[in-house]
Amino acid sequence: MPLLELKGVNKSFGGLKAVSQVSFELNGGEILGIIGPNGAGKTTLFNVITGFLKVDSGEVWFNGENIVGFKPHQVCQKGMVRTFQLVKPFVELTVFENVVVAALNRAKTIKEAREKTIRTIDLVGLKEKTNTLSSGLTLGHRKRLELARALATEPKLLLLDEVMAGLTPTEVDELIRLLREVNHRGVTILLIEHVMRGLMALSKRVVVLNYGQKIAEGVPGEVVKDRQVIEAYLGEEFASDQS
């Protein structure tokens, strides 16, 4: 049984079909990438999966349960957590205070939550910033904080929305290493990513979206040679030149 399964998911805004008949499966332990040009519906898909938006039709199965209609906090309690493309730290709180909120999702006591918080902050490499206000963090650190908060909820499935955008190459490398470690510990990952190097390094399989539709799925190296994918990214002319 796949950990996450989408069956013909649709979402429209007025006349615009943001997500149209999207289906795919994600198995436990896997890292799946979602790519597509700007406006392809990637973030909308995340919002639909995690309950921030309601699907118009279709089903979202997570861990053997149809989670359509669940509120985001219920989705999180079930074991699926997402990060935001535009990071949303609790700016007036310290790194510790940020993460402890997330750790309380599963911890039974405050003490347990605090211990988990310290471990998680250490894992993402923010130990020295533990008592820094998150408003004083660089973008790279904020992205790590976003990740730390998500991990502290103890997810089975982690949805990452462009965590690598805006980072320096060194930061990207560190993040790849970190995400591999997280995956190694048993967390399944679904990521939207524009940083190709990161995507290629992490995911064995990618799904390509364009105008809300799934146009390709497969191994990253092959997908980028797909005619439809090249068309979507670079235009029809370029695609015909290639063939």
Partner 1 sequence: MKIIYSFLSILLLILLLLPNFVSDYILGIFVLIFFYAYMGQSWNVLTGYAGPISLGHSLYLGIGAYISTKLAMSFGVTPWIGMWVGGLGAALVGLAIGFLGFRFGLKGVYFVLLTIAFGEIGRLTVLHLKPLGHMMGLFVDFKPGFVNFHFRGNLPYYYIALGFVVFSLIVVRALEVSKWGRYFVALREDEDAAESLGVNVFKYKMIAIGISSFMTALGGTFYANYIFYLHPTSVMSMWVSIEIIMRPIIGGLGTPFGPLIGSFLLTPLSEIARSYFTKAGLEGIHIVIYGLLLIAAVLFFPGGIFAFIKKIVKPILGESKEI
132 binds partner 1 (CB under 8 A): no
Instruction: Give whichever of 121 and 172 is closer to partner 1, judged by the CB atom.
Output: 121
Out of 38, 64, 131, 170, the residue judged to bind partner 1 by CB under 8 A: 131
CB of 82 to partner 1, least distance (A): 6
Q: Binding string, 49-68, against partner 1, x = CB under 8 A?
A: -x-x----------------
Instruction: Give whichever of 110 and 139 is closer to partner 1, judged by the CB atom.
Output: 110
CB of 105 to partner 1, least distance (A): 4
71 binds partner 1 (CB under 8 A): yes
CB of 112 to partner 1, least distance (A): 11
Out of 84, 125, 156, 213, the residue judged to bind partner 1 by CB under 8 A: 84
User: 30 — phi, psi (to 5°)?
Assistant: -80, 160
CB of 75 to partner 1, least distance (A): 8
Q: Strand 157-161 relative to strand 65-66: parallel, antiparallel, unpaired?
A: unpaired
Q: Are 17 and 212 in contact (CB under 8 A)?
A: yes
Candidate segments 17-25, 32-40, 92-100, 176-184, binder of partner 1 by CB under 8 A: 92-100
CB of 77 to partner 1, least distance (A): 5
Q: Which residues bind partner 1 (CB under 8 A)?
A: 50, 52, 71-73, 76-77, 81-82, 84, 88-94, 96-97, 100-102, 104-105, 110, 113, 130-131, 149-150, 153
